[in-house]
Amino acid sequence: MLEILFLLLPIAAGYGWYMGRRSILQRDSQKSKKLSRDYFTGLNFLLSNESDKAVDLFISMLDVDDETIDTHLSLGSLFRKRGEVDRSIRIHQNLIARPNLTAEQRDIAMMELGKDYMAAGFYDRAEEIFLNLVNQDDHSEEAESQLISIYQVTKEWQNAIDVTKKLPKKRQQVFKVTTAHFYCQLADQATDMLVKIKKLQLAIKQDVSCGRAWLGLANIYLDSDQIKECKDSLLQLIDADIALFPDSINIAKQVYRQSSDSEGYEQLLSLALKQGAGASVAIALAEHQIAKNNSDSAEAMMLDNLYRHPTMKGFQHLMKLHIKQAEDGKAKQSLSMLEKLVEQQIKFRPGYRCRECGFPAHALYWHCPSCKHWGSIKRIKGLDGE
Ligand SMILES: [Zn+2]
């Protein structure tokens, strides 16, 4: 009898193991059923626009399973993108409050919370978070970019420059155009002329092709009667950013008039035109030649320019020249009417466009209001522009 009992022992052990395993599997299956049921309920709330209930449910589920952290991060980011920042803040704050989060998970959640604060306009709170994350190797790059974005919004240009200075050399190259504009912003804020010049020179040191800085310098030198420096800056502008040269025509006209250097003005405009400065410069040159009683060469130059680069502006100016020379009569009246029509068309059309996002503008902006790029808004080239 005892032997039979001994023989049954392995069977009993096996049965016990089987029953135990079955109960664990059942428990797991019940847990996962509850989890998926809760998720479906949560999704249902989301789809039926009951976001508040969905958020509460998802947050309560966080206590159930650690593996849902990624889902919560995605959900938080989704709410932020939809502009429901208060909800994304709640989700990320709840994540961070969990004591058993790994350091990596906590940093990711902090980064997301920082972005929430930025989206909500709490720049000081966002700055605090990113200043902490900037020292974490895995997140420093993103935190630096976020800090630069904050300082642009709060117009703390020196702080933005300080962040870019700490970047590795390779990343500094990526930000060189932007940093040059930060220095130009500082120059705009400064009241002292020498400080303005210093900041603009620092901008050029960052990015020698920063046309804004050369234009700014030309303007300051004109105001302070530094004729030679002003002319040099205009020449540098041609090399740095020819697309910006048409915006310096008034400065050029004044500085060459002050020094009675009519020849120099003509040479400067001709050089700019050769480098592709466009219709406005051709018109300025034509006006200068007409003022010197040289209408024939002005007309020939305009015609040649129109032939190579047809533009509405150039066409309108040529019509003006012909109207001046035409004898009074019906033909002159018709030409005048036509010229007015073209002029109206030009006025209605934007003169500038962002080369990054295509944002149209009637005036020159250094910072694109649409895509937030620096120095990307330029005069429109082609038939409608230069
Ligand atoms: Zn843009």
Residues 311, 381: Cα–Cα separation, whole Å: 9
For residue 198, the Cα-to-chain-centroid distance in whole angstroms is: 25
Residues 63, 65: Cα–Cα separation, whole Å: 6
Residues 34, 15: Cα–Cα separation, whole Å: 28
178's tokens: 């932007």
In this structure, is residue 331 part of a structural domain? Answer: no
Q: pTM of the predicted model, to two decimals?
A: 0.79
In this structure, is residue 304 part of a structural domain? Answer: no
Residues 60, 132: Cα–Cα separation, whole Å: 29
Structure confidence by residue, pLDDT tens digits, 244-298: 999 999 999 999 999 999 999 999 999 999 998 889 999 999 999 989 888 888 8
Q: What count of Cα atoms within 13 Å lies in the side-chain half-sphere of residue 15?
A: 5
**What is the distance in A from the centroid of ligand 1 to the CA of 356?**
5
Q: What percent of the chain has pLDDT over 90?
A: 51
Supply the pLDDT for residue 361.
93
**What is the distance in A from the centroid of ligand 1 to the CA of 143?**
23
Q: Of 273, 279, 276, which Cα lies nearest the Cα of 386?
A: 279
Helix, coil or strand: residue 159: helix
pLDDT bucket at 348, cuts 50 / 70 / 90: confident
Sheet with 377-379, edge to edge strand ranges: 360-361, 352-354, 377-379
**What is the distance in A from the centroid of ligand 1 to the CA of 373?**
6
Helix, coil or strand: residue 37: helix
**What is the distance in A from the centroid of ligand 1 to the CA of 167?**
25
The range of the structural domain enclosing residue 367 comes to 349-386
In this structure, is residue 289 part of a structural domain? Answer: no
In this structure, is residue 220 part of a structural domain? Answer: no
Supply the pLDDT for residue 293.
85
Surrounding ion ligand 1 within 5 Å at CB are 354, 356-357, 359, 368, 370-371
C-alpha torsion angle, residues 109, 113, 115, 119 (rounded to 10)? 150
Q: Of 273, 308, 276, 310, which Cα lies nearest the Cα of 288?
A: 273
Supply the pLDDT for residue 161.
96
**What is the distance in A from the centroid of ligand 1 to the CA of 370?**
5
**What is the distance in A from the centroid of ligand 1 to the CA of 256?**
35
**What is the distance in A from the centroid of ligand 1 to the CA of 146?**
19
In this structure, is residue 190 part of a structural domain? Answer: no
Structure confidence by residue, pLDDT tens digits, 85-111: 998 999 899 888 888 888 888 899 999
Structure confidence by residue, pLDDT tens digits, 292-324: 888 888 888 888 888 888 898 888 888 888 888
In this structure, is residue 28 part of a structural domain? Answer: no
**What is the distance in A from the centroid of ligand 1 to the CA of 357?**
4
Please, what is the angle between helix 249-258 and helix 279-291, to 10°?
A: 30
Q: Say if residues 274 and 267 touch (Cβ distance below 8 Å).
A: no
In this structure, is residue 146 part of a structural domain? Answer: yes
Q: Say if residues 374 and 177 touch (Cβ distance below 8 Å).
A: yes
**What is the distance in A from the centroid of ligand 1 to the CA of 364?**
12
List the CATH number of the domain containing 146.
Answer: 1.25.40.10
Asked which of 101, 136, 154 is the last residue of a domain, the reply is 154
In this structure, is residue 47 part of a structural domain? Answer: yes
Asked which of 133, 154, 175 is the last residue of a domain, the reply is 154
Residue 375 pLDDT greater than 80, yes or no: yes
List the CATH number of the domain containing 360.
Answer: 2.20.28
Give me the number of domains the chain comprises. Answer: 2
Residue 7 pLDDT greater than 60, yes or no: no
Q: How far is CA 68 from CA 30, 105, 285, in A?
A: 17, 12, 69
Count of all residues that appear for the chain in the document: 386
| Continuous segment of H or E residues that includes residue 336 | helix 330-348
Supply the pLDDT for residue 28.
55
**What is the distance in A from the centroid of ligand 1 to the CA of 181?**
15
Q: What count of Cα atoms within 13 Å lies in the side-chain half-sphere of residue 301?
A: 24
Asked which of 135, 154, 173 is the last residue of a domain, the reply is 154
Structure confidence by residue, pLDDT tens digits, 195-224: 999 999 999 999 999 999 999 999 999 999
Residue 6 pLDDT greater than 50, yes or no: no
For residue 336, the Cα-to-chain-centroid distance in whole angstroms is: 43
**What is the distance in A from the centroid of ligand 1 to the CA of 305?**
30
Helix, coil or strand: residue 155: coil
